[in-house]
Chain A
Amino acid sequence: MLTVENTKCECGHQNAVGTVLCESCGKPLLKDLQQSDTPLEMRYDGVARRSQKSNQTVIDKIWSFFSSVKIAIYLIVITFLTAMLGTIYPQESTFINNFDPSTYYEQTYGLPGKLYYMLGLSHTYESWWFIGLLVMIGTSLVICSLDRVLPLYRALNKQQIRKHHQFISRQKTVFAADIGGDPKEWMTNFGTQLKRRGYKVHQEEGQGTALLAEKNRFSRWGPYINHIGLILFLLAILARSIPGWQMDAYVSVPDGDTVKIAGTNYYIKSEKFIIEFYTDDELPEQLQGKARAKNYETQAVLYACVSVCNDPLKEPVLEEVKRHNIIVNHPLVYDGLKLYQFDFDLKPRLNAVNPILEDKQSGEKYGPFYLPMKDSALQHKLGPFTLDLYANYMEFALNSEGKPTTLSREPNAPAFVFTVKGPGLKPEGEPYIYFPMQKDKVKFAQDTINREIADKIQIRVDGMENVDFSEATTHLNVRVDKALPYLWIGAVFSMLGLIMGSYWQHRRIWLRIDDGQLVLGAHTNKNWFGMRSDVAHALKKVGIEIDPKTLDNGGKNA
């Protein structure tokens, strides 16, 4: 198909193998192309693409595979078709916890779900073949661009003004006429008109009967700049798998707690979680009465551990580094670490109470004393009384053997068992069970369990100011993504290239006058309508009025 001989054009220029149109004068080089008179294929100006070679090694073959736009299109098509499959059922990555994919899909969707899971479609976008497709697209982007941009650059950089007659007359936009008078003067005059439309005009030296007018050549580089941006983007995504470059974790913080952010040196404290709902007059009728959140925020403080960070026996030394109210769309950002409002839980949690001990016989009150739900002091001295904490339960219950136990580690129904010593009590002490929550006091009949000691003393809380509880728990999403800046740079390049290539078009007009006979050919990479109107406008200014549509020589609209 490609012949090695005959690459030398009649104008004397030696062309590379695979050249379609002479790089210098534009004359078609291939025999069958010379004999036809259809409009010429002007893609890449007819220069030889790098990969077109006759005797190919394996490397050449791989190279020319990825260099093919046809292959690139196939890759794009396969990618979007397979991407569709991934949206049929939710992906595994949309679930956060308590989720076992091997049973979930079958249970929820039956047989199709089972197949979906077995085919690996439940993690389409992390599968080796999908990533493989993206890698191949990336490769194709690099090789296709490289193979085309360099020859194109060379061709556009050393353009001949006087083109072959056939080259001009076989453009898609053409015009021919007899010109009276001085051809050079006519040409100069026409050139001036084109200059007014923003063209750079090159008139042949000497005779002055050939002309090349060109504008917006830079738009030819648009697609390549776009491709560079896309390659940067893909590389940035790849860089995210470098250890430490990316993190995605969740942390739950009850009001007032300070929690370590696993995998970092930071601790996060939620001073308070606040939620605000829309009032009924702010809502349209059908939404009234529904709790529609207006705003919620976590008043967060970020600490960094400065010493004793990994000693389980000692408390770490923390230093405040940042204070920020985290709202949706306004994360806390510190040194690459980002904390996003993810969710919340409005279930209150009892942290501590400050109860008093009342001596029922004397009416005397002692205390209050501090009683946290977790890790309380084991002994409390209250006036003449001594309380020894003997056992505590977070969610009090009686087990199958009738013995006290706890059902969970959350303070849902806390209970404390003390040995109480003091006036009017046995010297070895008497047991006393205390339920800080009123509901549990009633449910488990505290006074009945305590029997006669209940008549002598009572432990109780005086007023809500002596109760410390977290009203809510905030759930935050912890993120680190060091590749982001590169990603945005890629996106900016890509966008720039797209704009350059789409909103400007490279337009060229060639003219020559031979013995009073004018031929004009014009080429653009997009928007023939605009090309024709440019030519028709300039012609009109030099006194030739035509309908722009008549300039069309048929052929394709590329």
Chain B
Amino acid sequence: MGKSRKKIQIVILLAVLILGGYAIGSTFFGKDRTGFLKVGAEPPEFTLADLDGSVRSLAEFKGKPVVVNFWGTFCEPCVREMPEFERQYEKWKDHNLVILAINLSEDTLTVNNFVNRFNLSYPILRDVNRQTERSYGLRQYPTTFFIKPDGTLMEVKVGGMLEKDIEERVERLLQL
């Protein structure tokens, strides 16, 4: 009786340890209740069309520093930021900087008119039915995600930025 009894005890306690540890552990690593992405987390994948009709996904830029910016023509601070991003892009694109500007599910004509007006050269991606913006837990516009070459988030900036704010962050991103 003694030996098998001991075995049963150990098996049960181990099971408790694993299941209980999993249950308690998942309270620490569960998704943030607020839906915000946390610094250090891997941002959700997306596959979206750009204005030329080719398909871009986040995964293909792995290993490069990526700036993902959500914008819309209806949002004044977003509009103000766009030429600044353009200048930064021109400045750093040889250093492998990638800027992906995801439009907030607007009309094709509206986006085209806007991009032509500012003569933007970095990829403008078209979100469909707000799916990508939802998966990123967006609350306000603009919101910019700075993604390190290893694919994790360096910073989430909610609200508009001045050019020097963008530059400072891009430089930090490039040093990684």
Contact = CB atoms under 8 A, between A and B. Distances in A.
Are A and B close enough to touch in the complex, i.e. CB under 8 Å? yes
A63 interface: yes
Contacts of A407: 74
Given A142-B16, A409-B106, 18 more contacts: A59-B9, A62-B13, A63-B13, A128-B28, A131-B27, A132-B24, A146-B12, A238-B22, A312-B55, A312-B128, A313-B55, A375-B108, A375-B109, A378-B109, A389-B109, A406-B74, A406-B110, A409-B74
Nearest to B106: A409
Interface of A: 50, 59-60, 62-63, 92-93, 97-101, 123, 126-128, 131-132, 134-136, 138-139, 142-143, 146, 235, 238, 241, 259-260, 262, 310-313, 374-376, 378, 389, 391-395, 399, 405-409
B30 A409 contact: no
B74 A405 contact: yes
A258 B85 CA distance: 35
B52 to A, nearest CB: 11
A50 B6 contact: no
B74 A238 contact: no
The 7 closest A-B pairs by CB, nearest first: A135-B20, A312-B49, A128-B27, A406-B74, A139-B16, A92-B33, A374-B107
Most chain B CB atoms below 10 A, which of A146, A260, A262: A262
A378 B47 CA distance: 27
Interface stretch (B61-69, B86-94, B129-137, B146-154): B129-137
B34 interface: yes
Nearest to A104: B34
Nearest to A252: B130
Given A63-B9, A63-B13, A310-B47, A131 B23 contact: yes
7 contacts: A97-B35, A99-B34, A101-B33, A238-B23, A241-B26, A394-B110, A406-B110
Interface string B120-146: 000000101101001100010000000
Interface residues of B, number: 43
Contact of A50 (B5, B20, B26): B5
B19 to A, nearest CB: 6
B107 A375 contact: yes
B113 interface: yes
B10 interface: yes
Contacts of A374: 107
Contacts of B35: 97
Nearest to B6: A59
B47 A126 contact: no
A100 B35 CA distance: 10
B12 A142 contact: yes
A260 B13 CA distance: 45
Nearest to B8: A146
A260 B130 CA distance: 10
Contact of B12 (A128, A136, A143): A143
A407 B26 CA distance: 42
A399 B74 CA distance: 10
Contacts of B100: none
